[in-house]
Amino acid sequence: MSSIHGVPDTRALHSGGTIGSLVVNAIARFGEQPAIADGKVQWSYREFGDTVGRFITLFRSLGLKIGSALSILASNRAEAWAAICAALVMGVRYTPLHPMAAEDDHAFIIEDAEIDLLIVEGAKFGPRGLAIKGRVPSLKNLYSIGPMDGVRDVMPDLAGAAPAPLVDESEAHEIAFLAYTGGTTGRSKGVMLSHRALVTMTLILFSDWDWPQDIRFLAATPISHAAGVTLFPVMMRGGLMQLVQGFDPEVYARTVAEQKINATFLVPTLIYALIDNVDLRKRHDLSSLQMIVYGAAPMSPDRLLEGMKIFGKVFVQLYGQTEAPQCITSMRKIDHDENRPERLGSCGRASPMVDVKLFDMDMKEVGIGEPGEICVRGPLVMDGYWKRPDANAETLKGGWLHTGDVAVKDAEGFFYIVDRTKDMIISGGFNIYPREVEDALMSHPSVASAAVIGIPDDKWGEAVKGFVVLKPGANTGAAELQAHVKDKRGAPWSPKTIDFLDAIPVTGLGKLDRKALRAPYWEGRKRGVA
């Protein structure tokens, strides 16, 4: 061992501890235990490891090595997860593609991320893969999962490949995921998440959430995003990863009942669908659910209380963002206290190993109960944006990750997100956050879901506008809801107008799509609609 100034150089001694090593370790430890199922295949950890090894052999034959780049466009399939894990073990960086994103966004990401190999699910995304290949000359290889005209099918090659030994070649400081943000304020930005960051995330989720003893986890939302990275702590515990192809309430409920699913991740809109479908819950036994993780968008405290009455004390909330994935804060089961209903609007307390503070515009920490921007530091935080030094300077100012979310903190350390800084409505001199109005609307017994934006107004500058979906059978009018909000929050918060919709538009990640709601009102004006 070499030394520097007489002190041993221990850098090599402290290498390892990567997501790749986590994958290899899980496969070795849990061999014959059920690992993953998607309705078509069901593999033990040994069989899953065999497929991971075959992917490594295939990737090497295509010239992929440490530092190469892989992207996958597929639904929730076991083969896709095996390919992702193979890349992580090899030290190949992986870039997720959301199945619901547009072609323009996909093509931009493939080019910007300098992808060497794109794998698409032939039956569902074949034409998209060919379109991307035609638009991005730098893309070297296009493969499909399953037959597809004009593109080589990966499945026969896998069947004929000898599984490579599972030896972790990744490095803790290297990029594991180059994950792109949603791009609501312009072109998507590539977030550089190192193995260190993903291992930190996994250890926090493993230790801080209320997992069942023998995990049977159901991923219904895309494994390209939050549901996917949540699979790492499941593997660490030797649990079953059950995948379904999108959220269909009937399929979801039947899978929970038949497979005795005891843990799952859902965005709030999907939980609302289960709450409101009484007949579905009568026909399928969902009592095996011991942990329902929710996040990615705010959940109405009143609707959460409804869910607790139906499912029990099973809810766990995550708050994070791509730049600090999954676990900036968490709300555990014990924190969901029906006797403290005001706390149900919280996103929890800071996670272990994560520093969280609220700063004002001058980066001075605000006091208890005062609004400030959530800023984060610690090993969970990204290494920066890919090829975006301008964005890095702004987002990582002062040595902290600036989330863009505004919150207040109570005396017990619970954070309450008010809203995104850019979503704030300035009406008649009042600063109004849409979340405040949405929660007030959704506390009305007739309201199933709601969204709020600011629209141009000659008198007020901006006027508060609401969009509401009523519960089945309800016929409440706008005037009653306006009066309800006025009573709950005050006159400035009461929407000047309310439109009734069949469904609130959401993004591919299940978040309220305020950009789509704003567009008709702000088109051609100076203020953006991000």
pLDDT digits (tens, 9 = 90+) for 28-64: 999 999 999 999 999 999 999 999 999 999 999 999 9
The CA distance from 234 to 161, in Å, is 28
The predicted model gives 115-129 an average pLDDT of 95
Q: Which pair of tokens denotes residue 223?
A: 């494994």
Per-residue DSSP letters for 183-208?
A: -TTSS--EEEEEHHHHHHHHHHHHHH
pLDDT band at 191 (very low <50, low <70, confident <90, very high): very high
Which two three-digit tokens encode residue 409?
A: 């903190």
Which whole-number Å values give the CA distances from 432 to 66, 421, 425, in the listed order?
Answer: 49, 11, 5
CB 174 within 8 A of CB 91: yes
Higher pLDDT, 270 or 402: 402
Residue 396's Cα: distance from chain center in Å? 21
CB distance 56 to 89 below 8 Å: yes
d(CA 296, CA 317): 9
3-state helix vs strand vs coil in the chain, percent to 5 = 35, 25, 40
Residue 280: which region, alpha, beta or left (left: phi > 0; alpha: psi -120 to 50)? alpha
- Confidence check: pLDDT of 143 > 70: yes
What is the C-alpha to C-alpha distance for residues 56 and 19, in angstroms, rounded to an integer? 16
Q: Please state, in angstroms and rounded to a whole number, the distance separating the CA atoms of residues 418 and 410.
A: 13
Q: What's the whole-number average pLDDT of the chain? A: 90
Q: For residue 430, name the pLDDT band (cuts at 50, 70, 90).
A: low
Place of tokens 């990204």: 382
Say yes or no to pLDDT of 426 above 50: yes
Output the pLDDT for position 528: 35
pLDDT greater at residue 365 or residue 432: 365
Say which amino acid occupies 402. Answer: H
Q: Which residue has the tokens 């993004």?
A: 507
Confidence band for 183, pLDDT divided at 50, 70 and 90: very low
Residue with tokens 């036994």: 285
Is the pTM value of this prediction over 0.95? no
Q: Which residue type sits at 146? A: G
Percentage of residues in the chain having pLDDT higher than 90: 73
For the purposes of burial, counting CB atoms within 10 Å of the CB of 224, is it exposed (0-12), middle (13-18) or buried (19 or more)? Answer: buried
- Is the confidence at residue 298, as pLDDT, over 80? no
CB 3 within 8 A of CB 10: no
Confidence at residue 425, expressed as pLDDT on a 0 to 100 scale? 81
pLDDT in tens, 359-410: 998 999 999 999 999 999 999 999 999 999 999 999 999 999 999 888 999 9
Q: Report residue 316 CA to chain centroid gap.
A: 14
pLDDT tens for each residue of 476-491: 999 999 999 988 877 8
Give CA–CA dist 109/103, Å, rounded: 10
C-alpha distances (whole Å) from 249 to each of 284, 298, 367 are 11, 21, 43
- CA 164 to chain CA centroid, nearest Å: 31
Q: Domains (ranges, CATH) in the chain?
A: 45-195 (3.40.50.980), 424-522 (3.30.300.30)
Task: For residue range 62-116, list pLDDT tens digits in order.
Answer: 999 999 999 999 999 999 999 999 999 999 999 999 887 778 889 999 999 999 9
Instruction: Give the C-alpha separation, 218 to 241, whole Å.
Output: 6
| Cβ within 8 Å of residue 107, ≥6 positions away | 131, 132, 135, 136
Query: In this predicted model, what pLDDT tens digit does every residue of 205-215 receive, in sequence order?
Result: 999 999 999 99
DSSP 17-68: --HHHHHHHHHHHSTTSEEEE-SS-EEEHHHHHHHHHHHHHHHHHTT--TT-
In Å, how far are 39, 400, 490 from 430, measured between CA atoms? Answer: 52, 29, 11
Sign of the alpha-carbon dihedral angle for 300, 306, 311, 315: positive
Please state at what angle helix 195-208 crosses helix 19-29, rounded to 10 degrees: 50
In whole angstroms, what is the distance from residue 89 CA to residue 25 CA? 11
Give me the pLDDT at residue 431, please.
64
For residue 327, pLDDT over 90 is answered with yes
Q: What is the pLDDT of residue 104?
A: 84
Give whole-number Cα distances, 83 to 16, 59, 87, 135, in Å: 21, 9, 6, 24
Q: How many CB atoms lie within 10 A of CB 101?
A: 22
CA 64 – CA 75 distance, rounded (Å): 23
